[in-house]
Amino acid sequence: MSPGRTYDVIVIGAGVFGSWSAYFLEKSGAQVLLVDAYGPANARASSGGESRIIRMGYGPDEIYTRWSMNALPKWKELLAESGRPELFNPTGVLWIAHEGEKYPLDTMATLDKLGCRFEKLTLGQLVERHTAMSFEPDCWGIFEPDSGVLMARRAVETVVREAQKHGAAFENAFVRPPVAQRRRAQEITTGAGDTYSAAAFVFACGPWLEKTFPEVLGGRLFVSRQEVFFFGVPAGDQRFQPPTTPTWLNVGDEFYGMPDLENRGLKIAHDRHGPPADPDSESRVASAEALAAARVYLSRRFPALRDAPVVETRVCQYENTSNGDFLIDRHPEIDNVWLVGGGSGHGFKHGPSVGEYVAACVTRGDAVEARFSLRTKQERQKRAVF
């Protein structure tokens, strides 16, 4: 066994939560080591893939709207400083709502209360602006002009590089669960037998979090298979690029998608949680059933793409708590170990806010928000955060 360096904080997991946590911890003056078994934003990670939505609307959930509003300028600032401003694409985000739905009304009320820019669109305005899309007679919309898309894999890699510029170290290694002595962990051990010591440890390892701490998180985190499709657009047809086609979310049936960015095709995915998945062994081949469901939605919302070819697919996973709230709390039996996760499906955008929050908790001992605490996580899924 080889001895390693001693750090103030070791962060395990170089996805969006772990990379931003390492970034803000290092900026706070801590000496930080960031570790990941497969590398930053790798193909198995929930933070992998090409694109993620950043939007402000969360119904009545003010805490997440505030965190999104805090996160977007920090994303833009870091990407600009790194010379990669194009990794945020200001497509705008359109909420497609139907008469009688409460969630979009709550969304507008929250956005208005917090001073976030938006437009309420009538059916006529939707039809006039978005000529490639088809809308039901009872549709109306909420448009967030400042929101858009983060190019996920490259954005996370950029955060890791910026953390390293500030002094953080990075290691590509598998980390074994920590062993506590008198309620404190002294070190981590890698699969190769190397050891690294620290005063505190942050486990932000996404779908591997429950596998690392099964005795604490078993049955309290839910890892689900999620399938994404890109459909080829007609040659020379610009209607599927922004602003004619923005990023959109369909409130009622849980589909969402993005315009033809970087000429990859129109992206469509179902936000409903899929069957259980294992991030290490899950097949990444898309299913015929998920494709059929995506085509039904595509035919209804984008009639011109009814017979469009599939040009790319992706199978990833969500990792959620019982209701969709984040998990950010101390390990109940190891005082200097922090558990950070539960963000899949809506967490990517919040990376900077999570990183700031984790850094404050670890370095200053700030109190844990009750909604993020381990004690609030149940063993039965009842989704409440969208």
Beta bridge partners of 200: 9
Mean pLDDT for each consecutive 10-residue tract of the chain (386 residues)?
A: 79 98 98 97 92 97 98 98 98 97 97 98 98 97 98 98 97 95 95 96 97 95 97 97 96 92 97 94 95 96 97 96 96 97 95 98 92 94 89
Q: What is the pLDDT of residues 92-133, one digit of tens each?
A: 999 999 999 999 999 999 999 999 999 999 999 999 999 999
Res 2: pLDDT: 47
Cα 160 from chain centroid (whole Å): 16
Write the single-letter amino acid at 352: P
Q: Left if phi > 0, otherwise alpha if psi is -120 to 50, otherwise beta: which for 183?
A: left
Domain with CATH 3.30.9.10 in the chain: 78-149+222-318
Give CA separation, 136 vs 94, 220, 247, 381, in Å.
15, 39, 18, 31
Of 82, 55, 67, 242, which is closest to residue 154 (Cα–Cα)?
A: 82
Angle (deg, nearest 10), helices 351-364 and 16-27? 50
Domain with CATH 3.50.50.60 in the chain: 3-47+153-218+322-376
What phi and psi values does residue 262 have, to the nearest 5 degrees? Answer: 55, 25
The neighbour count for residue 73, using CB atoms within 10 Å, is 11
Which pair of structure tokens corresponds to residue 231?
């459909």
Whether the CB-CB separation of 96 and 139 falls below 8 Å is answered with yes
Strands across the sheet with 88-89, in order? 52-54, 148-150, 88-89
Of 86, 64, 93, which is closest to residue 158 (Cα–Cα)?
A: 86
Res 200: pLDDT: 98
Which pair of structure tokens corresponds to residue 174?
């598998």
Which pair of structure tokens corresponds to residue 230?
């890109």
Task: State the Cα–Cα distance between residues 320 and 207, nearest whole angstrom.
Answer: 9
Per-position DSSP letters for 320-356, written without gaps between them = E-SSS--EEEE-SS-TTEEEEE--TTT-GGGHHHHHH
3-47+153-218+322-376 CATH: 3.50.50.60
Res 320: pLDDT: 95
**Residue 276 DSSP class:** B
- Contact residues for 195 (Cβ-Cβ < 8 A; gap 6+): 1, 2, 3, 4, 187, 188, 189
114-125 core/surface letters (b: 16 or more CB in 10 A; e: else): eebebeebeeee
Whether the CB-CB separation of 340 and 202 falls below 8 Å is answered with yes
Res 205: pLDDT: 96
Whether the CB-CB separation of 56 and 352 falls below 8 Å is answered with no
Res 1: pLDDT: 37
Confirm or reject CATH 3.40.50.300 for domain 78-149+222-318, answering yes or no: no
Whether the CB-CB separation of 284 and 312 falls below 8 Å is answered with no
Q: What is the pLDDT of residues 298-331, one digit of tens each?
A: 999 999 999 999 999 999 999 999 999 999 999 9
Which pair of structure tokens corresponds to residue 344?
């899949």
Task: State the Cα–Cα distance between residues 130 and 25, nearest whole angstrom.
Answer: 43
